[in-house]
A and B are shown apart, each in its own frame.
Chain A
Amino acid sequence: MQQPGLFDSSPIPARNHSTSVMIAPTFESFRDAAREMLRLNRSPDQIWWVETDEAEPPGSASTAQARVSAQFVKIAQFVACHASPDRWTLLYRVLWRLTRGEPYLLALSGDPDVARMRRYEKMVRRDLHKMKAFVRFRQVSSVAGERFVAWFEPDHAIVKLAGDFFVRRFTNMRFSVLTPVGCVHWEGEGQLVFTQGLSAAVKLADSLDDLWKAYYENIFNPARVKVDAMRSEMPQKYWKNLPEAQLIPALLLAADARTDQMIQAAPQVSVLNCGSPPEGYQTVLQRSVQDDSRPALARIADATRACRACELWEPASQAVPGEGTPKARIMLVGEAPGDQEDLLGRPFVGPAGQLLDTLLAELNATREMLYLTNAVKHFKFRVTARRRLHQRPQAREVAACRNWLLQEIEVVNPQRIVCLGATAAAAVLGHPIRLRDVPPLGFELQGRQVMPTIHPAAVLRAADPSSKRAHLRADLQQALLGLI
């Protein structure tokens, strides 16, 4: 007769009823054996789990079914890799309790069995994580070709779990990871090959070790030493297979001294050794304006670029200086640059400029024979939703810019000045005029002939372009007469 238990009615199992169960040290083998034991209703203390390599192949004997949560299976797969010999007993005990009246057991994280199972799982996961971080491959050449080989010493049998990671990470490398608990080999394609673990450590080294160590030594920050954090992230048990770890003790010992040295070598002045600050745009322009060795027109152009006499410089992209033959006999003065001129920095390149080019070509002339400039050197515009609309410069702005125009006239010294539009004529003459009041031969100004006419843009805008065009063409023809 069996003795009743103290706290419940179940009888205390007799010791001589305990059985040895032979399993291979894998999760699958344990699972099949445990199903069978559950079917036979063997309580955990009746079973003695024995690991052997000659166990029956998994799945052969078991037809029994046992239902447990997927959560348990997932944890058990990790726990099965743990090195502790009591893991099978632990797993079966939890399994027994889950199937015998405590289905909620996994929720009780404070239960000693659950806590230990969770701890084992965590240890295996951590070991797996560290293996991914601390495997150091070395290149090995042999008759079979190049190969990357690593020696690693994990605490638990995690090589099978880690294999997939290394294949994903180094798919096109042929590699072997050798450990005491199993080896994994990859040929760059096909299937992963697992072999028995090696009992003796493999010594590996390659030419990149020194480079890697030099890199590690140089990125080590002596002012940021956290020994505890370092020891936790990079446990010392892994150090012997990490080439850079040999440097750590010396680096740590020198850390304080290096920090002190930095403090003592502190600079006494508050100026960084970067030289003087770079010169501003205005300074550079001013110097080139005053440089006597440069052509006068180029100096005037730079002066207009630096000009701040009116407000137009600010929204404009750049100043548009005059261009053409420096000793031209005919000078063409427009009103102000337009959108295209502003972007390119050259006068008469927009639609009006193209019309001017066409008319000049009809009269057997080109713009290279002339000097072209504008009364105002910056683009004045109003921003609309789609474009920048040209605006006529005011008398104030024309007056501010007149200085540059007069200097250009003086330097180029043309015999004839063709003013395109009333604004240009007013700028050249110094007083406003009406185009319809202009005498046939224009005005006389300091020995020069000033011939105002309409602006090419007026032709483009006109309701009757052909007559305006003829008017402009006739005026230009007269202006070019005898001088081209």
Chain B
Amino acid sequence: MRRVYFSAFSPIPDASSALPLKPPPLIREHRLYQADWLLRFYGFNAQEITDSSTNAGMLPLDIDPKLAWALNHREVFPIDLNRAPREMLLRIPGLGTKTVKQVLQIRRWQKVRLRDLIMLRASVKKALPFIICADHHPGTSDPATAALRSQLARPTLQQSLVFE
């Protein structure tokens, strides 16, 4: 089996009452895919993902699994974009495999700056508290983990059903 696909349950008319009536939050499907990607492309192992999940092994819905791991391992951060090996760059929240590949290319020739991350369309806001680069340091006064979490958590989405 090369990979796994996840599909959240969606109710159907005239279903058996043994089936649940309400669909689960669709974001759960997304979180499962993110966790799968961490296993397949980011060098995480399953233990690391379940350790940083919240209640009863469920992935947190408000933050992605990589951010959850980073918040549980504050001692690893901040990571220097100009020095850290690829495996560590892949652990930074907000940086994907493509961004990491480009960061590694850039730093062969010049220092990586915040401007580069912005140009690469990385999630800079998410990455800022966890990185050091040529023109950025998160500072010595660490914000508390809980504060950081609420700052980076995904706002509860109200899906607008009407197109403007």
Q: Do A and B come from one complex?
A: yes
Output the least CB separation between B5 and chain A (Å): 15
CB contact between A110 and one of B11, B23, B112, B163 (< 8 Å): that residue: B112
Output the least CB separation between A302 and chain B (Å): 37
Of A140-148, A151-159, A266-274, A364-372, the one contacting chain B is A266-274
Q: With a CB–CB cut-off of 8 A, which chain A residues contact B18?
A: 270
Q: With a CB–CB cut-off of 8 A, which chain A residues contact B106?
A: 107-110
CB contact between A223 and one of B10, B105, B113 (< 8 Å): that residue: B10
B23 & A262 in contact (Cβ 8 Å cutoff): no
B12 & A262 in contact (Cβ 8 Å cutoff): yes
Complex CA–CA separation, A24 to B12 (angstroms): 57
Q: Which residue of A lies closest to B159 (CB)?
A: A227
A115 & B17 in contact (Cβ 8 Å cutoff): no
Q: With a CB–CB cut-off of 8 A, which chain B residues contact A266?
A: 15, 17, 21
Complex CA–CA separation, A272 to B15 (angstroms): 8
A224 & B10 in contact (Cβ 8 Å cutoff): yes
Determine if A226 is an interface residue (Cβ-Cβ < 8 Å): yes
Q: With a CB–CB cut-off of 8 A, which chain A residues contact B162?
A: 249, 252-253
Q: With a CB–CB cut-off of 8 A, which chain A residues contact B102?
A: 109-110
A107 & B23 in contact (Cβ 8 Å cutoff): no
Complex CA–CA separation, A267 to B11 (angstroms): 13
Of B65-73, B116-124, B142-150, the one contacting chain A is B116-124
Determine if A111 is an interface residue (Cβ-Cβ < 8 Å): yes
Complex CA–CA separation, A228 to B102 (angstroms): 28
* B side interface size, CB within 8 A: 33
Output the least CB separation between A239 and chain B (Å): 9
Complex CA–CA separation, A268 to B15 (angstroms): 11
Output the least CB separation between A48 and chain B (Å): 27
Of residues 14 to 66 in B, which have CB atoms within 8 Å of A's CB atoms? 14-18, 21-23, 26
A249 & B10 in contact (Cβ 8 Å cutoff): no
Complex CA–CA separation, A107 to B105 (angstroms): 6
Complex CA–CA separation, A256 to B10 (angstroms): 13
Determine if B4 is an interface residue (Cβ-Cβ < 8 Å): no
| With A115-B119, A259-B11, A266-B17: A236-B112 Cβ-Cβ less than 8 Å | no
B17 & A269 in contact (Cβ 8 Å cutoff): yes
Q: With a CB–CB cut-off of 8 A, which chain A residues contact B12?
A: 262
Of residues 133 to 164 in B, which have CB atoms within 8 Å of A's CB atoms? 159-163
Q: With a CB–CB cut-off of 8 A, which chain A residues contact B117?
A: 110
Q: With a CB–CB cut-off of 8 A, which chain A residues contact B6?
A: none
Q: With a CB–CB cut-off of 8 A, which chain A residues contact B159?
A: 225-228
| With A109-B105, A110-B116: A221-B10 Cβ-Cβ less than 8 Å | yes
Complex CA–CA separation, A146 to B117 (angstroms): 53
A267 & B163 in contact (Cβ 8 Å cutoff): no
A272 & B120 in contact (Cβ 8 Å cutoff): no
CB contact between B11 and one of A108, A226, A263, A270 (< 8 Å): that residue: A263
Q: Which residue of A lies closest to B18 (CB)?
A: A270
Q: With a CB–CB cut-off of 8 A, which chain B residues contact A297?
A: none
B11 & A223 in contact (Cβ 8 Å cutoff): yes
| With A223-B11, A226-B26, A268-B17: A109-B163 Cβ-Cβ less than 8 Å | no
Output the least CB separation between A261 and chain B (Å): 8
Most buried by A among B11, B15, B160: B11
CB contact between B13 and one of A109, A227, A231, A265 (< 8 Å): that residue: A265
Output the least CB separation between B31 and chain A (Å): 14
Complex CA–CA separation, A109 to B161 (angstroms): 37
Determine if A112 is an interface residue (Cβ-Cβ < 8 Å): yes
Determine if A38 is an interface residue (Cβ-Cβ < 8 Å): no
A224 & B105 in contact (Cβ 8 Å cutoff): no
B10 & A107 in contact (Cβ 8 Å cutoff): no
CB contact between A109 and one of B14, B21, B23, B120 (< 8 Å): that residue: B120
A111 & B11 in contact (Cβ 8 Å cutoff): no
A-B pairs with the 5 shortest C-beta distances?
A: A110-B116, A223-B10, A115-B119, A109-B102, A107-B105
Residues of A within 8 A of B (CB): 104, 107-112, 115, 221, 223-228, 231, 236, 248-249, 252-253, 255-256, 259, 262-263, 265-270, 272
Residues of B within 8 A of A (CB): 8, 10-18, 21-23, 26, 102, 105-106, 108-110, 112-113, 115-120, 159-163
List 8 additional contacts besides A224-B23, A267-B15; criterion CB under 8 Å.
A108-B106, A109-B106, A223-B11, A224-B26, A227-B163, A253-B161, A259-B23, A266-B17
A–B complex contacts, Cβ < 8 Å, 16 sampled: A107-B106, A108-B105, A110-B102, A112-B119, A221-B10, A224-B8, A225-B161, A226-B26, A231-B163, A259-B11, A262-B21, A263-B21, A265-B14, A267-B17, A268-B17, A272-B16
